Amino acid sequence: MPEGQEQNPLGQAQGPAAQRGRDPALAALLAHVARGDQRAFESVYEQTAGQVLGIVRRVVRDPAQSEEVMQEVLLEIWRTAARFDPEVGSATAWMMTLAHRRAVDRVRSEQRSAERELRVVSAQIAYDEVAEAVEASLDRERVRRCLTSLTELQRESVTLAYYGGYTYREVAELLGIAIGTVKTRMRDGLIRLRDCLGVE
């Protein structure tokens, strides 16, 4: 834990644009949360609830269910803050991984229970929604730009999987391409995205 740094864990820079810069501060906050500091958790909530809700809504769609899942995720962050290890990844990645995973679990368990047929969602629609939603800030703009730097198949595979919550097998089915191809496109697409975004 980044202990002993001269920062007040409760007084953070605000705003999603400072994503990279604020992550160490978030990590420090999580260390306080791990010790049961409710004020620190409040700060974590303020900084991440919108992000958690955003990705959950993207996957789950239903607003009421999304709010439930968002709360579950935040409570999970509270409960498991001691398990966050900054050596292993950024605080944001940790929390977004939790959020996305839980959103995906929710839609898949619903699918199983209702034995719903796969909705055939056009990849183009999924992408348009992304493009529309990411225009708000520089950060979003950058993500959008990086998404457009992918090949069409990479982009469709990534957005259907991540925002759509589909498994790679489902994506292969949706796009009508071989499973092996989808796996490769997803990996190549994410690698390109990672490099474009300049994340480590």
Partner 1 sequence: MESGDTDLHTLAGAYAMDAVADADRARFEQHLAGCGACREEIRGLREATARLATAAAVQPRPELRGQTLRAAAQIRQLPPAVHGDELMHGDELMHGDELMHGDEPMHGDVPMHVGEPMHGEGDTAAREAAREAAREIRPGAWTAGAWRMGRGGRNARGGRAGLLPRLALTAAGVLAALTVLLGVMMHGAQHQLDQAQRSTHAIAAVLNAADVTMLTAQVSTGGTATVVMSHRQRALVFTAAGLRALPAGRHYELWLTGPAGTRPAGRLPAVHAGMVGPMVVGGLAGGDRVGLTVQPAVGSRRPTAPMILLMDLGSQ
Map the footprint of partner 1 across residues 5-44, applying CB under 8 A: 16, 19, 34, 36, 38, 41-42
What phi and psi, each to the nearest 5 degrees, are found at residue 20?
A: -65, -45
In whole angstroms, the minimum distance from the beta carbon of 84 to partner 1 comes to 6
Total residues interacting with partner 1, rule: CB under 8 A: 91
**Alpha helix (H) ranges present in the chain?**
19-34, 38-60, 63-80, 91-114, 123-133, 138-148, 152-162, 168-175, 179-197
Kindly indicate which of the ranges 4-12, 94-102, 117-125 contains the residues binding partner 1, using the contact rule CB under 8 A.
94-102
Kindly indicate which of the ranges 3-11, 76-84, 120-128 contains the residues binding partner 1, using the contact rule CB under 8 A.
76-84
Q: Is 11 exposed, middle or buried (0-12, 13-18, 19+ CB in 10 A)?
A: exposed
Q: Binding to partner 1 by residue 193, rule CB under 8 A? A: yes
Q: Which of 12, 25, 27, 102 binds partner 1 (CB under 8 A)?
A: 102
Quick one: 6 or 124, whose CB is closer to partner 1? Answer: 124
Rounded CA gap, 146 and 140, in Å? 10
Q: Which of 25, 28, 98, 123 binds partner 1 (CB under 8 A)?
A: 98
- Closest alpha carbon to 173 in 130, 119, 101: 119
In whole angstroms, the minimum distance from the beta carbon of 11 to partner 1 comes to 18
Site string for partner 1, 158-177 (x = CB under 8 A): x--xxx-xxxxx-x------
Q: Which of 5, 7, 14, 79 binds partner 1 (CB under 8 A)?
A: 79
Residue 175: C-alpha distances to residues 129, 143, 157, 162, 189 (Å): 18, 23, 8, 15, 15
Map the footprint of partner 1 across residues 121-160, applying CB under 8 A: 130, 133-134, 139-140, 143-144, 158
Q: At what angle do helices 19-34 and 63-80 cross, to 10 degrees?
A: 60
Q: Which of 26, 27, 55, 126 binds partner 1 (CB under 8 A)?
A: 55
Rounded CA gap, 95 and 47, in Å? 11
